[in-house]
Structure 1
């Protein structure tokens, strides 16, 4: 296991991504029975200290394998500025990486492998989890529109929540396929909006979710989209 959160400007070559965006209207169906493994988007905060050991090992570990510049395209208009705003999280043991805002801190999110949150707003966070699968690629789950619609309505949304899907995006990077989508969960007294990225590799079905309170979404949407787009599978 090795991690680097260095802000090195070393040039890293990356494969071109093929992206397809699909705008989607409201999804009004209520959630069905939840499967035995839930990817609930409702926050559950507990025992932050219990997760700190692994996170410290990952963040301040052996280093040198990947850097923030690996995960942020350096040919973007504001690549250097973005690298000052984000830190990288690389888990070589579990086979994934992503970036998160540099002022966020790690915490324990029940049932997830890694998670970071805003210092002051716990609901504004990113988390990653995975489950075993015999499938080799995300396309084996079915058509993107159906997969995402079922996932949000039957898994992410609680019975009291109304889900709305705003957009779907498919991309392929280094031969690995990803679905990224934006959705809102509306409750009688509360609404949250999130991006999720799902992918399959290493015999695992990975899910990254990054979200915020609906009232803050317009302010932080672009920042959180960078996090969702940065999720990448690593061969293990």
Structure 2
């Protein structure tokens, strides 16, 4: 009887000392860290990872609105190049729209709505916003953060339908602005 009581107290103590995932969440977002590829970001609570075999490094999507997602894509760039060497925020945003968001033959159209640069820990990040029309005429809204580190272009993308944009845009903006490399 005394052993059972001691074991139960030990379990309760260990549970109370270890943080649960909900306790780590901040403002409806929870952390994700990829130490092998060197990046971290926040993503909405309740979203789940999607198994991907090619393309993005990681994808999370909403369990209910499954077309809402965040992802990280990593591409090599020429050695010694910086983000500024690749172009201004508008130029890089335009090229990303043509290469990744609405490539030729996809039937999609992307309009770069906003492009700006910001500094975090002496690194330049480009924040990009797109209005996207899919081939089925569905309207979507995409946000992205792009940065160069260790000879690679890291792009964090967040996407939702235009219909849901007004409800979730602040959460997606926080997620995109949380993206950082060199972890």
TM bracket, shorter-chain basis:
0.7 to 0.9
Equivalent positions of 1:71-220 (< 5 A) are 83-109=26-52, 110-133=54-77, 134-158=79-103, 159=105, 160-187=107-134, 188-220=136-168
Rounded Cα–Cα distance in structure 2 between residues aligned with 1:150 and 1:116: 24
RMSD, aligned α-carbons: 2.3
Which has the larger share of helix? 2
Deviation of the 1:103 alpha carbon: 1.1
| Greater Rg over alpha carbons, structure | 2
CA contact (8 A) 1:136 1:201 kept: no
Q: Could you say if the C-alpha distance between residues 84 and 105 of structure 1 is closer, same or farther in structure 2, counting changes exceeding 3 Å?
A: same
Richer in strand (by share): 2
For structure 2, the residue ranges without an aligned partner over 5 or more in a row are 1-17
Q: Which of the pair has the greater relative contact order for Cα pairs under 8 Å at 6+ separation?
A: 1
What is the SS of the residue equivalent to 2:56? coil
Q: Is the 1:132–1:203 Cα contact (8 Å) retained in structure 2?
A: yes
Unaligned runs of 5+ in 1: 1-5, 9-58, 60-67, 69-81
Aligned CA distance change for structure 1 residues 118 and 143 (closer, same or farther; 3 Å): same
**How far off is 1:93 after superposition?**
1.1
More divergent stretch after superposition (135-144 vs 178-187): 135-144
Instruction: Give the ranges of 4+ consecutive aligned residues of structure 1 lying more than 3 Å apart after TM superposition.
Output: none
- Give the secondary structure class of the aligned counterpart of 1:108: coil
